[in-house]
């Protein structure tokens, strides 16, 4: 475990006894065609056009290239759609109450849908709710579905990760991690044994038969794996949560490398280009992330891609071996095959000014699914055929938002008060002069993430209403080196906060925005920053909108108990990130409610399992006791990620209306 990150999925479900509940998908007729282009619009789209979930959230291509599948939003409902290579729809399956997170082909006839639901946690655990993830296998030809581990009382009906598909003896298999149970003594039921972390299972998707192929870590350890081309466990990493002692084993269970990572920052990256080595990452305290490569047979680890900032790794979809990588700031990936790399360069040139991203690759490396977004593009999906050199558009994320309605986006660089170099993403209202504009400061969540010039529905919604929007990559953001990220240690509510207002000052200095016409808006950590902007800081913002915000640091770290799953490694990370417990109240907005100097809107999902809703209800109560203006909007059935259309619409409409009321654009 590294830094505390609110935007990440909860780190452990190993001590959870609940069962993943999901309605079966029901077969239905295909209810609509993918839109190839967006209509031209003279006026700004309604706010609802931005609040909708994207029409397409994930897509994959079958191994033989004959079929495509997508996770879509049709009439506000999450739906899995499958069609053949000619565009003929084969099936559309509504997901009911489940939230589709990903789709993955396992062979040409079976599609695996990864989905989640917010689930109540047994009373003995501190968290009231947890986001439970499960995997459902769809037999496309038969139209039947079955959940992995369904009907097996000896395992939780949960999957904790996918580790690739492999064809073994003519059969297609999916590798997932799952948690076994022990038979309860003197009873017919099963319970968690508490001794092992999730293990690795091979799932024959046609027969729906499972086989455990690797155990988890020993007691107090967590494990992860890489599966080789033959379907064997090529490498296993196990790490102790009581000191960070780690080891990597090969398929013969021989230890090939080991070490100590006190903050838990060690991970498997991928198998090497030829599949005979393993690449792993290390981030020693005070040092940059290092990638190392060691032969699976054993040997001396050597640096891999030394001093190259890697954004993404590409793997072969069937063998798992490395195909190439994308370097930060580059438009196209570096591939092992020069011919494929040349094709990627041609693709990048075709999408100049946008951000192309590979989302699916056929095993013969001739067909690619590419997603683009950015200036003049609210999100588009393409199927690229490198044999015919055709690029066919498959659909758009936001078809109601025309290219002309996308506000221009660019990077603005500035300097923090202590001299640290910063940057942020500036979105301008379409067709409006960039001069003394009202502004919405929109710090990202995480906080260990960063914003880019990709299409951002929240920023574009405000821009469409006449606001400049600035998304500062404050210290701790992940778009720079480790020193920049470590500069955030102990700086919640301090320099991380002033980095945001320093960005506002720079925009005002350039004449782009009016310094007295600013509101601050954000979600998760960004929601915390919004609250801090009008409690810990003074007279900078005219209003604040905080979505799923942390309002009290002590509650987040103790009552929410973010370290409960991570032992000493987690506690050490918290100490480094936040400093002594005696100082936490100094940067907790709830403890400074009486200092609030602008109206505040709180918005929170009732099913939030990352930042529980009491962070907002208790903040509202504290503000009301202090006689400060505050409103609270609750979202029924919503989680931390605004995963459903109706509640995301409600959030955005309330947030935009609040800013328009307290900081009008005109």
The CATH classification of domain 21-34+54-216, taken from the options 1.10.1740, 1.10.3470, 1.10.8, 2.40.128: 2.40.128
| Comparison of pLDDT for 346 and 438, the residue scoring more | 438
Spans of all domains in the chain? 21-34+54-216, 217-318, 331-399, 407-662
Evaluate whether 492 touches 459 at the Cβ level (below 8 Å): no
Residue 583 neighbours by CB under 8 Å, 6+ apart: none
Pairing outcome for strands 233-240 and 245-250: antiparallel
User: How many Cβ atoms from other residues are within 10 Å of residue 311's Cβ?
Assistant: 13
Whole-structure pTM value? 0.88
Evaluate whether 20 touches 117 at the Cβ level (below 8 Å): yes
pLDDT tens-digit map of 506-542: 999 999 999 999 999 999 999 999 999 999 999 999 9
Q: Which residues of 530-542 are buried (b: 16+ CB within 10 A; e: fewer)?
A: bbbbbbbbeebbb
pLDDT tens-digit map of 444-482: 999 999 999 999 999 999 999 999 999 999 999 999 888
pLDDT tens-digit map of 581-628: 899 999 999 999 999 999 999 999 999 989 999 999 999 999 999 999
Q: Is it the case that residue 46 has pLDDT exceeding 80? A: yes
| 265 vs 259: CA distance, rounded Å | 11
Given phi > 0 = left and psi -120 to 50 = alpha, else beta, which region is 609? alpha
| Comparison of pLDDT for 330 and 381, the residue scoring more | 381
Is the link from the previous residue into 432 a cis peptide, with omega within 30 of 0?
no
| Comparison of pLDDT for 349 and 14, the residue scoring more | 349
Helices (H), 351-400: none
Residue 430 neighbours by CB under 8 Å, 6+ apart: 44, 404, 405, 406, 407, 408, 463, 464
SS3 358: strand
pLDDT tens-digit map of 627-638: 999 999 999 999
If we measure between CA atoms, which residue out of 358, 332, 359 comes closest to residue 346?
332
Phi then psi for residue 585, to 5 deg, are -65, -30
| 29 vs 66: CA distance, rounded Å | 20
pLDDT tens-digit map of 1-42: 344 444 432 222 222 222 222 222 222 222 233 333 444 445
| Comparison of pLDDT for 61 and 328, the residue scoring more | 61
283 pLDDT band (50/70/90 cuts)?
A: confident
Q: Read off the tokens for 149.
A: 């581990």
- Let me know if domain 407-662 sits in CATH 3.40.50.1820: yes
């Amino acid at each position: 475990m590294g830094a505390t990150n609110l935007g990440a999925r909860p780190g452990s479900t190993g001590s959870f006894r609940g069962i993943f509940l999901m309605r079966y998908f029901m077969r239905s007729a295909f209810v609509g065609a993918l839109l190839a282009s967006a209509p031209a619009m003279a006026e700004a789209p309604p706010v609802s056009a931005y609040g909708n979930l994207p029409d397409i959230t994930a897509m994959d291509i079958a191994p033989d290239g004959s079929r495509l599948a997508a996770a879509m939003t049709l009439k506000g409902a999450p739906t899995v759609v499958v069609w053949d290579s000619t565009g003929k729809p084969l099936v559309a399956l509504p997901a009911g109450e489940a939230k589709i997170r990903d789709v993955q082909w396992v062979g040409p006839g079976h599609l695996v849908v990864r989905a989640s639901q917010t689930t109540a946690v047994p009373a003995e655990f501190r968290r009231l709710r947890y986001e439970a993830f499960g995997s459902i296998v769809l037999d496309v030809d038969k139209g039947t579905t079955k959940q992995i581990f369904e009907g097996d009382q000896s395992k939780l009906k949960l999957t904790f990760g996918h580790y690739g598909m492999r064809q073994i003896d003519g059969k297609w298999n999916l590798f997932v991690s799952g948690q076994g149970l022990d038979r309860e003594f003197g009873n017919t039921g099963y319970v968690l044994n508490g001794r092992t972390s999730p293990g690795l299972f091979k799932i024959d998707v046609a027969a729906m038969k499972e086989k455990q192929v690797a155990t988890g870590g020993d007691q107090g350890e967590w494990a992860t794996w890489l599966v080789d081309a033959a379907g064997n466990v090529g490498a296993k990493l196990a790490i102790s949560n009581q000191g960070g002692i780690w080891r990597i084993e090969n398929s013969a269970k021989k230890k090939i490398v080991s070490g100590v990572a006190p903050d838990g920052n060690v991970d498997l990256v991928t198998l090497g280009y030829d599949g005979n080595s393993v690449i792993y990452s290390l981030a020693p305290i005070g040092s940059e992330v290092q990638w190392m490569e060691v032969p699976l047979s054993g040997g001396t680890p050597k640096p891999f891609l030394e001093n190259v900032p890697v954004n993404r790794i590409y793997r072969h979809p069937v063998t798992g071996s490395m195909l190439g990588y994308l370097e930060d700031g580059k438009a196209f990936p570096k591939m092992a095959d020069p011919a494929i790399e040349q094709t990627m360069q041609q693709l990048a040139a075709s999408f100049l000014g946008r951000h192309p991203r590979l989302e699916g690759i056929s095993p013969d490396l001739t067909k690619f699914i590419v997603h683009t977004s950015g200036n003049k593009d609210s999100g588009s999906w393409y199927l690229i055929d490198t044999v015919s050199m055709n690029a066919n558009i498959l659909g758009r994320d936001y078809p109601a938002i025309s290219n002309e309605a996308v506000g221009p986006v660019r990077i603005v660089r500035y300097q923090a008060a202590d001299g640290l170099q910063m940057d942020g993403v500036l979105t301008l209202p379409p067709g409006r002069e960039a001069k003394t504009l009202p502004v919405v400061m929109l710090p990202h969540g995480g906080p260990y993430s960063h914003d880019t010039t990709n299409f951002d529905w929240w920023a574009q919604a405000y821009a469409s209403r006449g606001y400049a929007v600035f998304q500062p990559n404050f210290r701790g953001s992940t778009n720079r080196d480790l020193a920049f990220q470590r500069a955030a240690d102990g700086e919640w509510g301090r320099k991380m906060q002033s980095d945001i207002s320093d960005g506002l000052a720079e925009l005002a200095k350039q004449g782009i925005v009016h310094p007295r016409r600013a509101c601050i808006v954000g979600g998760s950590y960004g929601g915390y920053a919004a609250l801090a902007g009008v409690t810990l800081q003074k007279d900078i913002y005219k209003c604040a909108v905080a979505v799923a915000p942390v309002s009290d640091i002590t509650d987040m770290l103790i009552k929410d108990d973010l370290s409960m799953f991570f032992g000493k490694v987690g506690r050490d990370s918290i100490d480094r990130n936040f400093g002594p417990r005696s100082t936490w109240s100094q940067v907790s907005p709830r403890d400074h409610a009486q200092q609030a100097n602008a109206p505040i809107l709180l918005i929170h999902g009732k099913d939030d399992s990352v930042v529980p809703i009491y962070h907002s209800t208790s903040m509202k109560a504290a503000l009301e006791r202090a006689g400060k203006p505050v409103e609270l909007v609750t979202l029924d059935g919503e989680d931390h990620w605004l995963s459903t259309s109706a509640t995301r619409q409600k959030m955005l409409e309330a947030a935009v209306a609040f800013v328009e009321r307290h900081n009008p654009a005109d």
